[in-house]
Structure 1
Amino acid sequence: MQKDASGLATVSLAAIMLAAFGGTAAAGAGAETSVRDDSGMSRAADQTETAQTDGLEEVDVAEEILVTGRAQQFYLQTTPSLGNKFPDDLKNIPQSIQILTKQLIEDQGAVEITDLYRNISSVSIFSYSGVTFRGFRQDEIRYDGLLGDPFSGFSVPLLFDIEQVEVIKGPSGALFGGGEPGGLINYATRGPDDEFGGYVRLVGGNFDLRGARAEVTGPLDEAGTLLFRLGAAYEDVEPFRFNTDKEDLVLAADIEWRPGPDTQAWLKFDYVEQDFQGARLRGVPVDDEGEFLTTRRFNTNEETDFQRLEATAFTGSFNQRLTDALSFTLSGRAVLSQERQNYHENRGLFINDEGVARVRREFRDQDRDIQQYSALAEFVYDFDIGDTEHTFLFGGEFFRRDGEDFFLISSDSRRAGQFPPNFIVPDLNLIDPDYGNSNPDLFDPFFQTERTTQFDQWAIYAQDQIAVTDRLKLSLGARFEGFSEDLDSVQTILVTGQATEAVASASDETVTVRTGLVYDWTDSFTTYFNFSTGFTPQGVASQEPEAGGPFNPERGRLFEVGAKWDLMQDKVYLQTALYQINKTNILVADPAPDAPTGALATIGEARSRGVEVDLVGDITTEWSVALNYAYNDTVILEGSDEIINAVGDEFANAPDHQLGFWTRYDIPVIASAITFGGEYVSERISLSGQEVDPYAIFDAGWITNWRNLQFQVNVRNLFDKVYAESGFISRTGHFPGEPRTVRVEVTARF
Structure 2
Amino acid sequence: MTVAHPAALRPSAVAAALALACLVGLPAAAWAQPAPSTAVAPFDIPAGPLDQALVRFAQQAGVGLSVDASRVAGLRSDGLRGRHGVEEGFALLLRGSGLRALPAAGGYVLAPAAPPAGRAGPAATGAGPTLATITVSAEADSSATTEGTGAYTARSTSLATRLPLAPRETPQSISVITRQRLDDQGLTQLTDVVQQTPGLTLAQAGNAGSDSSPIYARGFQVDNYLVDGVRLVDSNYTDIFQTFDTALVDRVEVLRGASGLLNGIGSPGAAINLVRKRPTATFQASVRGELGSWSWRRGEFDVSGPLNAAGTLRGRLVAAKQDNASYIDRLHEKKDVFYGVLEADVGPDTVLHAGLSWQRFDATGHARGGLPAYFSDGSRAVWDVSASAAPEWASSHREYSSLFGGVEHHFSADWSLKATVSRSFNAYDEVIGYASNGYPDRLTGAGVGLWAGRWAATPRQDAADVQVNGRFNLLGRQHDLVFGATAVRTAYFAPAYTNWRHAGWDPSIPNIYLWNGLSPLEPYNPQVGTDDSDERLNSAYGTVRFKALDGVAVLLGARVTDWRRQQRSQSWTSASLTTADRRERGVVTPYAAITWDFARDWTAYASYTDIFKPQDYKTPTGDQIDPQTGVSREFGIKGSVLDDRLNLSAAVYESKQDNLAVSIPDTFAPDGSQAYRAVSGTRTRGFELEASGELRPGWQLSAGFSRNMTRDRDGQRLLTNVAQNNFKLATSWRMAGVGNGLTVGGAVRWQSGIYADNLGPARNQRFEQPAYAVVDLMLKYPFTPQLSATLNVFNAFDKRYYNTTGNSYWGAPRQLRLGVEARF
1:537 is aligned to 614
Question: Structure 1 counterpart of 2:290, which letter?
Answer: V
* 1:249–1:239 Cα change, 3 Å: same
Task: Give the alignment partner of residue 701 of structure 2, picking from 625, 628, 631.
Answer: 625
The whole-number CA distance in structure 2 between the counterparts of 1:174 and 1:383 is 22
CA contact 2:233–2:490 (8 Å) conserved in 1: no
Q: Indicate the residue corresponding to 1:356 in structure 2.
A: 445
For residue 191 of structure 1, give the secondary structure of its aligned residue in structure 2.
Answer: coil
Q: In structure 2, what is the Cα distance between the partners aligned to 1:161 and 1:290? A: 47
> How many Å separate the matches in 1 of 2:500 and 2:192?
36
Partner Cα distance (2:709, 2:499) in 1: 41
CA distance in 2, matches of 1:387, 1:267: 40
Q: What secondary structure sits across from 1:105 in the alignment?
A: helix
Identify which range, 476-485 or 555-564, moves more after superposition: 555-564
* The one of 314, 317, 327 aligned to 1:230: 317
Q: How does 1:154-233 map to 2 (within 5 A)?
A: 154-156=240-242, 157-233=244-320
Amino acid across the alignment from 1:685: Y
Paired residue for 1:674? Answer: 744
**Matching residue of 2:76:** 53
Q: CA deviation at 1:97?
A: 1.2
Q: Post-superposition shift, 1:427?
A: 2.1
Corresponding residue number in structure 1 for 2:629: 555
User: Does the residue aligned with 1:115 lie in a helix, a strand or coil?
Assistant: helix
Secondary structure of 1:619's counterpart equals strand
Question: Partners of 2:384 and 2:543 in 1: how far apart?
Answer: 54
TM-score by length of structure 2 reads 0.76
Matches of 2:492 and 2:808, distance apart in 1: 30
Mapped pair 1:713 → 2:791: yes
1:248 aligns with one of 315, 322, 335: 335
Structure 1: 5+ residue stretches without partners: 6-23, 35-48, 590-598, 641-647
The change in CA–CA distance for 1:678 and 1:668 in structure 2 (over 3 A counts) is same
Q: Please give the per-residue CA displacement for 1:104-145, whole angstroms capped at 9, x wherever unaligned.
A: 110001111221224322211034553111111122111111
Residue type matched to 1:92 in 2?
Answer: E
Q: Per-residue deviation at 1:528?
A: 0.6
Residue 143 in structure 1 maps to residue 227 in structure 2? yes
- In the alignment, the residues of structure 1 paired with residue 320 and residue 294 of structure 2 have an alpha-carbon distance, to the nearest angstrom, of 18
Work out whether 1:126 is the aligned partner of 2:162. Answer: no
Deviation per residue, 1:270-313 (Å, 9 max, x gap): 01111111114423432499966312222222223210112211
Q: Deviations over 1:341-392 (max 9, x none)?
A: 2231445223469732442113223321111121111122421111332222
Distance 1:470 1:73, change over 3 A: farther
Deviation at 1:50, TM superposition (A): 9.6
2:133 aligned partner: none
Q: What whole-Å deviation, never above 9, does each CA across 1:676-703 have from its counterpart, x for those lacking one?
A: 1110011123486632332211000100
C-alpha contact (below 8 Å) 1:587/1:604 kept by paired residues: no
User: In the aligned structure 1, how far is the partner of 2:47 from the partner of 2:166?
Assistant: 28
Is 1:257 matched with 2:344?
A: yes
Deviates more, 1:103-112 or 1:314-323: 314-323
Per the TM alignment, residue 610 of structure 1 is displaced from its structure 2 partner at its CA by 0.9
Shift of 1:489: 1.2
Shift of the alpha carbon at 1:455? Answer: 1.4
Q: Please point out which of 740, 743, 750 is paired with 2:814.
A: 740
CA contact (8 A) 1:677 1:700 kept: yes
Of all paired residues, the percent bearing the same amino acid is 21
2:559 corresponds, among 471, 479, 492, to 479
Check if 1:405 corresponds to 2:494.
Answer: yes
Q: Which moved more, 1:700-709 or 1:75-84?
A: 75-84
Q: 2:531 aligns with which of 415, 426, 451?
A: 451
Compute the displacement of 1:205 (Å).
Answer: 0.6
Q: 1:18 maps to which residue?
A: none
**What is the alpha-carbon distance in structure 1 between the residues aligned to residue 688 and residue 552 of structure 2?**
24
2:718 to 650, 673, 679: 650
Deviation, 1:72, is: 4.9
Q: Give the Å deviation of 1:98.
A: 1.3
Q: Deviations over 1:533-562 (max 9, x none)?
A: 121114496799x96x9x862113111111
Equivalent residue letter for 1:392: L
Give the Cα–Cα distance (whole angstroms) in 2 for the partners of residues 161 and 63 of structure 1. 36
Three-state SS of the structure 1 residue aligned to 2:389 is: coil
2:307–2:313 contact (8 Å) kept in structure 1:
yes
Name the CA shift for 1:565/1:308 in 2 (closer, same or farther; >3 Å). same
| CA-CA distance at 1:515 after TM superposition | 0.5
Q: Which residue does the alignment assign to 2:516?
A: 434
Give the superposition deviation at 1:716.
0.3
2:691 paired with 1:615 = yes
Partners of 1:460 and 1:122 in 2: CA distance: 30
The structure-2 alpha-carbon separation of the partners of 1:297 and 1:260, relative to structure 1 and needing over 3 Å to count, comes to same
Q: Deviations over 1:298-329 (max 9, x none)?
A: 22222232101122111212111223443211
Structure having the higher strand fraction is 1
Aligned to 1:3: 43
Q: Is the 8 A contact 1:148 1:333 kept in 2?
A: no
Counterpart of 1:99 in structure 2 is 176
CA distance in 1, matches of 2:544, 2:479: 6
* 1:397 to partner: Cα distance: 0.7
Aligned residues of 2:447 and 2:508 also touching (Cα < 8 A): no
The 8 Å contact of residues 627 and 661 in structure 1, kept in 2 or not, is answered as: yes
Matched position secondary structure for 2:514: coil
Tell me, yes or no, if structure 1 residue 316 matches structure 2 residue 401: no
Shift of 1:25: 6.5
- Greater RCO structure (CA 8 Å; 6+ sep): 1
Given that 1:572 and 1:615 are in contact with CA atoms closer than 8 Å, whether structure 2 keeps it comes out as yes
Deviation at 1:261, TM superposition (A): 4.3
Residue 30 of structure 1 contacts residue 54 of structure 1 at CA under 8 Å; is this kept in 2?
no
Following TM superposition, by how much is the alpha carbon of 1:632 offset from its aligned partner in structure 2, in angstroms?
1.1
Q: Which amino acid aligns with 1:513?
A: P
- 479-488 vs 128-137, which deviates more? 128-137
Distance 2:702 2:404 in 1: 31
Give the structure 2 partner of residue 116 of structure 1: 193
Matched AA of 1:131: I
* Counterpart in the other structure of 2:33: none
For the Cα contact (< 8 Å) 2:632–2:655, is it kept in 1?
Answer: yes
| Corresponding position of 1:43 | none
**1:487–1:541 CA contact under 8 A, matched in 2:** no
1:726 aligns with 804
Matching of residues 518-597 of structure 1 within 5 Å: 518-539=595-616, 553-586=627-660
- For 1:506 and 1:542, the matched residues in 2 are separated by 17
Pair 411,26 (structure 1): closer, same or farther in 2 beyond 3 Å:
same
Change (3 A) 1:215 1:588: closer
Unpaired stretches in structure 2, ≥5 consecutive residues: 1-40, 57-71, 80-92, 101-112, 114-147, 664-674, 760-765
C-alpha spacing 1:410/1:321, structure 2 compared with 1 (3 Å): closer
Which amino acid in structure 1 is aligned with residue 555 of structure 2? S
Structure 1 distance, partners of 2:747, 2:618, is: 44
Deviation at 1:466, TM superposition (A): 1.1
Q: What amino acid does structure 2 have at the position aligned with 1:516?
A: A
The 8 Å contact of residues 233 and 460 in structure 2, kept in 1 or not, is answered as: no
Q: Decide which moves more: 123-132 or 156-165.
A: 123-132
What SS is found at the alignment partner of 2:230?
A: coil
Aligned position for 1:87? 164
Contact 2:190 2:241 in 1 (8 A): no
- Helix, strand or coil at the partner of 1:431: helix
Select the structure of larger CA radius of gyration: 2
Q: 1:488 to 1:234 in 2, by over 3 A?
A: same
Shift of 1:723: 0.8
1:3 partner letter: F
* Per-residue CA distance 1:591-621 (angstroms, 9 max, x = gap): xxxxxxxx99976122111111111122221
Q: Is the 8 A contact 1:586 1:604 kept in 2?
A: yes
Q: Aligned in 2, Cα 1:211/1:328: closer, same or farther, shift over 3 Å? A: same
Residue identity opposite 1:534 in structure 2: I
The answer to whether structure 1 residue 396 and structure 2 residue 485 are counterparts is: yes
SS of the aligned residue for 1:114 comes to helix
